[in-house]
Structure 1
């Protein structure tokens, strides 16, 4: 349809130029009968008019071709959008444009959008795969030991052991479910976020005392120095941060190890450092430690297993408070988490 319209336009312009050429050719016979100077003047005028007609034709042809090229680009974009709507994100537009204009900007933005959507889809699939794996592991244990309990020849000690495993795995499932709901809520725009004034040093000290049974059991040495710092933040969310980080330090510090906790003010920021001399984190693992479901290899023992969501939740809460969190670690030497938070 569009090709037919373009052909008709070209044919019309060709007839127009042909008509002009024939008219001037016929006029040359009359021009020969005119005086010499007038003859030259008319020839000169005829050349100009013919040149203008040819330039008009070329201009129309260029415009028609350019317009047709733009139509093709629009059709390609519409087709690419249709693919994305159907879940196909492997789409990239590639047009050879001579110069940068609004069309090249549209194409570049479209390609960037398609790339981002593809990455989000990959993350979604990985997330579903990780959730399935994390759920399947405790469920397998629960089903297996529940079936084992049906044997009558088990001793009381064996039954109690199997029941303990079932209870442990059930709690792990419950914690995974809670963390998933919590992380989903934190990443939404509707999570309750209420800033209040409170003493950050008092909050951290309360969390340390709540963890006392755990660090006493491992006979850990605690080196604590907390400056008096009031802060404006969501008290409940910040409590989750310190609980998670301190629990991790206790979990991955060996018997009779040492944990150091520091709180001080640096300009308008509260600086919190939580260090231990535990098993440490490899350099490769440090790049992924805040990712969902990521667990360092040394943390894959059943006794130290977790959902791999705790540090993702911590990072999200810190970001909600416009703060930063970083980690430094070395295998067999320990780990240090450093948090910077705006005081108000």
Structure 2
């Protein structure tokens, strides 16, 4: 028990300072004894006269020289334990600088013997491997992001190009021209929304500190979002069931508005015509919960784990021409606000989203 407590308190099995000190002391002592033994054997075999002071001084000098030589050779061998991982780290950093994020430095966990690290170099190697893993993940995300952006931008641009070519050819009735111009407008709006969402996501990614100084009536803000989006989706004739008691929170007004707009827009987008959307608001001690329940198409369980990934769209979402950034934006905003989101959905039965905000 005492040994386990000591291991939990100490970070390293043996830090480099103690390792160097012990190595030098032990090496010098051992080499000195070896030198004395070697000189003594030589004197016993080859010298049989009386020892004079001058000869004793000479013997001491020889012992010192032999000790220094043996110590140098021994330390040269022992310091390989230090120089090897340093060399590996240097080579790995060189490869990382050239864009190779698959490099990993091998190191043994068994030598730690229950401690967090064997020594400082072991910690350095471990942290470097972690850093490279993060960089590899970021590099993959960057490439995946560029691929997704190219795909998402290409679709509306191709549609606009094709429709504009048809319009330029002429020989269309006024009704057909209006229809094609309407499609061009829809794709232009979609492209504009995509660019706006990407810029918003980029700003949120680089934002760590926000000023939560706005006093907000959540019930009024949510009602405002419902009114704004009802105009957009009025053709669906959706009925709203609102349970919104008066609740006030001090937070960031614009960020909260983006959360409700994205979630409500999703709920309306994936609801059938003449359906119902239920919105609830409650406060319990230091937490405020907002729930949005729709009876739309829903999402299958295997796809729910990916819904917060950027540009992720399941088949149902592709039919509605979404950008795949809305829920990513919501997730990032809640991370900044210290909130949480709970997503429950069943295919063919609808979705319930609950946002939990903490009152500080």
| Structure 2 CA distance for aligned equivalents of residues 229 and 319 of structure 1 | 21
Cα offset for 1:19?
A: 4.6
Which 10-residue stretch deviates more, 218-227 or 17-26? Answer: 17-26
Picking from 97, 100, 110, the partner of 1:85 is 97
Cα contact 2:278–2:292 (8 A) shared by 1: yes
Tell me the SS of whatever aligns to 2:168: coil
Aligned to 2:219: 201
Aligned to 1:70: 82
| Structure 2 CA distance for aligned equivalents of residues 181 and 17 of structure 1 | 78
Picking from 200, 203, 206, the partner of 1:185 is 203
Deviation track 1:136-161 (CA, whole Å, cap 9, x = no partner) reads 11111111111111223222222222
| Structure 2 CA distance for aligned equivalents of residues 340 and 125 of structure 1 | 33
| Structure 2 CA distance for aligned equivalents of residues 219 and 339 of structure 1 | 25
Cα offset for 1:73?
A: 2.0
Tell me the SS of whatever aligns to 1:278: coil
Gaps of 5+ in 2: 1-30, 51-62, 113-117
Cα offset for 1:95?
A: 3.9
- For residues 7-46 of structure 1, the aligned pairs below 5 Å read 19-27=39-47, 29=48
| Structure 2 CA distance for aligned equivalents of residues 235 and 91 of structure 1 | 45
Gaps of 5+ in 1: 1-11, 32-49
Picking from 212, 220, 223, the partner of 2:230 is 212
Aligned to 2:276: 258
Larger Rg belongs to: 1
Aligned to 1:287: 305
| Structure 1 CA distance for aligned equivalents of residues 142 and 327 of structure 2 | 19
Picking from 151, 169, 180, the partner of 1:151 is 169
| Structure 1 CA distance for aligned equivalents of residues 36 and 108 of structure 2 | 33
Cα offset for 1:132?
A: 0.7
| Structure 2 CA distance for aligned equivalents of residues 179 and 306 of structure 1 | 11
Deviation track 1:189-234 (CA, whole Å, cap 9, x = no partner) reads 3786452112111111111122233454322221110121110111
Aligned to 1:38: none
Aligned to 1:239: 257
- For residues 156-175 of structure 1, the aligned pairs below 5 Å read 156-175=174-193
Cα contact 1:230–1:343 (8 A) shared by 2: no
Picking from 338, 348, 351, the partner of 1:322 is 338
| Structure 2 CA distance for aligned equivalents of residues 267 and 142 of structure 1 | 52
Cα contact 1:278–1:334 (8 A) shared by 2: yes
Tell me the SS of whatever aligns to 1:150: helix
Cα contact 2:85–2:125 (8 A) shared by 1: no
Cα contact 1:194–1:233 (8 A) shared by 2: yes
Which 10-residue stretch deviates more, 275-284 or 93-102? Answer: 93-102
Aligned to 2:130: 112
Picking from 159, 162, 177, the partner of 1:141 is 159
- For residues 272-311 of structure 1, the aligned pairs below 5 Å read 272-301=290-319, 304-311=320-327
| Structure 2 CA distance for aligned equivalents of residues 306 and 260 of structure 1 | 22
Tell me the SS of whatever aligns to 2:345: strand
> Structure 1 length as normaliser, TM-score?
0.83
| Structure 2 CA distance for aligned equivalents of residues 204 and 190 of structure 1 | 25
